Amino acid sequence: MPLLPGGAALSIAGGVREFAVATPEAAAVVDGDRRLTYRALDERSSRLANVLLDAGLRPGERVAVLLGNRLEYPEVACGIAKAGLVMVPVNPRSAPVEAAYVLGHSQSRALIQAEELGGLTAGAAPETVLTIGGTGAERPYESALEGARSADPRVPVGELEPFCVAYTSGTTGHPKGVVISHRSRSLTFYGSALEWGLATGRRTIAVAPMYHGAGFAFGYAPVHTGGTVAMLRAWDPEHLLAMIERERAQSVFLVPTHAHGIRALGEAALRRHDLSSLDTIYFNAAALPRALKEWVLDAFPGVGVHELYGSTEAGIVTDCRPADARRKVGSVGQPWFMTEIRVVDDDGRPVGPGVPGELFSRSPYLMSGYLRDPAATAACVTDDGFLSSGDIVVRDDEGYVYIVDRKKDMIISGGVNIAPREVEEVLQGFPGVAEAAVVGLPDEEWGERVAAYVVRLPGAEVSGAELEAHCRTRLSGPKLPRTVVFVPSLPRNAAGKILKRELRDGA
């Protein structure tokens, strides 16, 4: 890609290169007792780049990564980028057949995996495999790095070229490979530094899985902008609070599931830990239920709470900033930096305030398309470059966006359109209810009936009759749950989004 005089392409390797010079001894990544400085992160990622190039991989080819949150994740991503290769994250919780599909569809030429996850790729792995923690037949990652050159290969890569192919969760059919460019992610990192304090000298924790789009974006952004990221190996709310105290974390990205888990610990758990370093919490994945958001605001006084909305395909679309957190409870805010939005009806005509419509967005964060699937790409993009979200939203008179529901999750009962989120908000407002999910189930008379799956707070005594009485005072007849099922937890994907298909299929 030709550059203008003095120009330089954005790259996700850029920040590591810069801070290896500016702050070489600063901690970039923390993983328990292990710490990696910027100097070491830069050198190790360069060694990995050379290992991959020496194995015969050519720029533009893809490298699968099968790792949980750990010290090596940022250096692996950076090393792949330095070699001009494309990262393909694989979900460590995949079934072997799912992992095999991602490896095959992406045509990955190499695989970097944790030893304990090797069983997922047996029989499907490419010829080149680097195993972290491995001492057996597979090539050990550390041995490979020790024998490699430490000079940065600096393979030229255009900023619109892909850094990653992130596979969607695949709630229906095979997952699609979302192609994401260096420009998209680099601008996301810089915007995150500006908005949530992920910058030089700042400390954060990678809580969400880094193989997922948002987990990677907010786990890698700190090292791209000069900060320090500590790795939470597995979700444990008490451990997270202890890490905030130990690492003096200032900004933390969470999904609503994490807030549920912290709340379930009780107020005493929050008092047991010194959380005074924390000044920013930002949420994504799904809109926070009103009751839960109000709990977060009360439980973390003095902490700026952001609620953002986006997707793997669109990146960050909106942000509800702390100044509006209480004034606009229920809203995911207004368009984020450099983002345009459009809300339209089924015929593509713009709708006004208070009228539900499908949300489209246009920004530098948008995906480049679905890998090897031009039809799916064309189906979700308008002629003028706006990407469909698949979500129904409403804007108020000030332009704040409220998520009504996924377009495909809308329930039609007796000809009435019912937004599950409206019913969920009512259920979650009842004392003793931790969370709820509402789906439409087949009904011979009405077409669909409303079914609610409810999780109680620990120790709470909540009955179906009590919830029915509560709903009758707040919802019209068609919206009332005809079935209430109490469950210990709700099924979720890696991003924390509820898998409503599993609820429907299990009914």
pLDDT score for 171: 45
* Nearest-angstrom CA–CA distance, 109 and 85: 10
Query: Is 14-196's fold the same as 235-406's?
Result: yes
pLDDT score for 4: 53
- Domain 410-506 architecture: 2-Layer Sandwich (3.30)
Position 33 pLDDT exceeds 90: yes
CB 411 within 8 A of CB 448: yes
The domain segmentation of the chain, as residue ranges, is 14-196, 235-406, 410-506
Least confident of 107-116, 126-135, 175-184: 126-135
* Nearest-angstrom CA–CA distance, 69 and 290: 30
The tokens for 101 are 């599909």
**3-state SS, residue 422:** helix
The tokens for 368 are 């480049």
In this prediction, residues 170-197 reach a mean pLDDT of 89
Determine which helix (DSSP H) or strand (DSSP E) holds 376, and give its type and residue range. Answer: helix 374-379
* Nearest-angstrom CA–CA distance, 50 and 149: 6
**3-state SS, residue 329:** coil
User: Which pLDDT tens digit goes with each residue over 331-364?
Assistant: 999 999 999 999 999 899 999 999 999 999 999 9
User: Which pLDDT tens digit goes with each residue over 50-95?
Assistant: 999 999 999 999 999 999 999 999 999 999 999 999 999 999 988 8
Residues contacting residue 445 through CB under 8 Å, at least 6 positions apart? none
Position 1 pLDDT exceeds 60: no
Position 135 pLDDT exceeds 80: no
pLDDT score for 153: 98
Position 130 pLDDT exceeds 70: yes
* Nearest-angstrom CA–CA distance, 118 and 72: 16
User: Which pLDDT tens digit goes with each residue over 414-462?
Assistant: 667 788 888 998 999 999 999 999 998 988 777 788 999 999 998 899 9
Position 140 pLDDT exceeds 70: yes
Position 172 pLDDT exceeds 80: no
User: Which pLDDT tens digit goes with each residue over 233-258?
Assistant: 999 999 999 999 999 999 999 988 89
Determine which helix (DSSP H) or strand (DSSP E) holds 86, and give its type and residue range. Answer: strand 86-89
* Nearest-angstrom CA–CA distance, 499 and 145: 40
Instruction: Name the pLDDT band for 175 (thresholds 50, 70, 90).
Output: confident
User: Which pLDDT tens digit goes with each residue over 192-233?
Assistant: 999 999 999 999 999 999 999 999 999 999 999 999 999 999
Determine which helix (DSSP H) or strand (DSSP E) holds 14, and give its type and residue range. Answer: helix 14-22
Percent of the chain beyond pLDDT 70?
Answer: 96
Residue 238 main-chain phi, psi, to 5 deg = -65, -40
pLDDT score for 138: 63
Instruction: Quote the CATH superfamily of domain 14-196.
Output: ANL, N-terminal domain (3.40.50.12780)
Instruction: Name the pLDDT band for 116 (thresholds 50, 70, 90).
Output: very high
Please name the fold of domain 235-406.
Answer: Rossmann fold (3.40.50)
Mean confidence (pLDDT) of the chain: 92
